[in-house]
Amino acid sequence: MKRQKRDRLERAQSRGYQAGIAGRSKEYCPYQSLDARANWLGGWRQAKEERGVTT
């Protein structure tokens, strides 16, 4: 069970990162769950930092 949860959260972060690289807004986040949303936003922020864009 823990592995499945971790995989979902890792996927959320990866998708957030991809959205950030693509220049999408953080309002685009499709997740409602707090854990998944937090990971998605973490990936999104990381991508924005790497692109040199401030939030």
Using an 8 Å Cβ cutoff, are 42 and 15 in contact? no
What pLDDT is recorded for position 37? Answer: 97
Q: Which two tokens stand for residue 23?
A: 């220049």
1-55 pLDDT, tens digit each: 566 777 999 999 999 999 999 999 999 999 999 999 999 999 999 999 998 865 5
Classify the C-alpha dihedral 49-41-19-13 as positive or negative.
positive
3-class DSSP state for residue 4? helix
Please name which of 2, 1, 8, 3 lies closest in space to residue 34, comparing C-alpha atoms: 8
pLDDT of residue 2: 66
User: pTM of the prediction?
Assistant: 0.84
- Which domains are delineated in the chain? 2-51 (1.10.10.620)
> pLDDT at position 53, please?
65
